[in-house]
């Protein structure tokens, strides 16, 4: 029963949100296991965190699967392209290390820094592209172009997002007792934190896009 201070209803609200976060995290883990589906899973994660957990509209599993299915093709192709680039860059790093180990020119060190920078930029971009897909219906080309522009234009926000992601990965690895908590909560909590950061960017873009449509 609810007491006069409303603590009963507040407790129910927070427990409900906690349960929704756990369910959402488990859905993301389940649909990310095949690896190639991680793009669609990440778009659905952001969409559901924003719509259900943040704004209280709909049910977690229903909204998650709706977005996962609708975005599957575009998100999967984007994810596979990004993974191919990352694999190529990793092979390039292996080749650079081999050249340096065999006494190659110091020029390879600068090439290595360039490759590392490219990998970081791809990781920064990936933090925009799937949330963007969850928020806007756009072609593949426009999605890539717009998210690259947003990533660069809001570079410090991009770095902040990467820092949050790194902390979500590294902390459970250092404090292993947190691993079960990390699996149950960190995906949805990361989506909520990134939502706070990205929605300030997306809302501005959405207003500009609406104005452009009204002018035509």
Task: Classify residue 30 as exposed, middle or buried by CB count within 10 Å of its CB (0-12, 13-18, 19+).
Answer: exposed
Q: Is the pLDDT of residue 26 over 90?
A: yes
Band (pLDDT 50/70/90 cuts) for residue 9 is: confident
Report pLDDT digits (tens) over 129-187: 999 999 998 888 899 999 999 999 999 999 999 998 888 888 877 877 778 888 888 89
Q: How far apart are CA 110 and CA 103, in angstroms?
A: 15
Q: Mention every residue, 6+ apart, whose C-beta is less than 8 A from residue 187.
A: 24, 25, 28, 29, 45
Short-list 150, 147, 129, 149, CA closest to 74:
129
Residues 76-132: tens digit of each pLDDT: 999 999 999 999 999 988 888 887 777 767 787 888 888 889 998 999 999 999 999
Cα–Cα–Cα angle for 114, 155, 88, nearest 5°?
35
User: Maximum distance among all alpha carbons in the chain?
Assistant: 76
């Amino acid at each position: 029963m609810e007491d006069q201070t409303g603590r009963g209803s507040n407790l129910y609200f927070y427990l409900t949100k906690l349960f929704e976060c756990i369910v959402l995290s488990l859905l993301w883990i389940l649909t990310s296991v095949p690896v190639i589906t991680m793009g669609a899973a990440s778009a659905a994660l952001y969409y559901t965190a924003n719509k259900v957990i943040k704004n209280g509209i709909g049910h977690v599993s229903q909204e998650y699967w709706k977005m996962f299915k609708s975005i599957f093709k575009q998100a999967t192709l984007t994810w596979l392209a990004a993974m191919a680039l990352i694999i190529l860059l990793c092979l390039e790093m292996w080749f650079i290390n081999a050249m340096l180990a065999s006494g190659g020119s110091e020029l390879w060190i600068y090439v290595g820094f360039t490759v590392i920078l490219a990998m970081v930029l791809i990781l920064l971009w990936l933090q925009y592209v799937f949330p963007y897909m969850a928020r806007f219906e756009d072609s593949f080309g426009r999605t890539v172009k717009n998210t690259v522009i947003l990533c660069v234009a809001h570079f410090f926000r991009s770095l902040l997002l990467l820092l949050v992601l790194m902390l979500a990965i590294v902390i459970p690895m250092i404090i292993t007792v947190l691993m079960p908590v990390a699996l149950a909560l960190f995906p949805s909590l990361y989506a909520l934190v990134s939502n706070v950061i990205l929605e300030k960017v997306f809302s501005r873009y959405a207003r500009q896009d609406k104005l452009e449509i009204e002018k035509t």
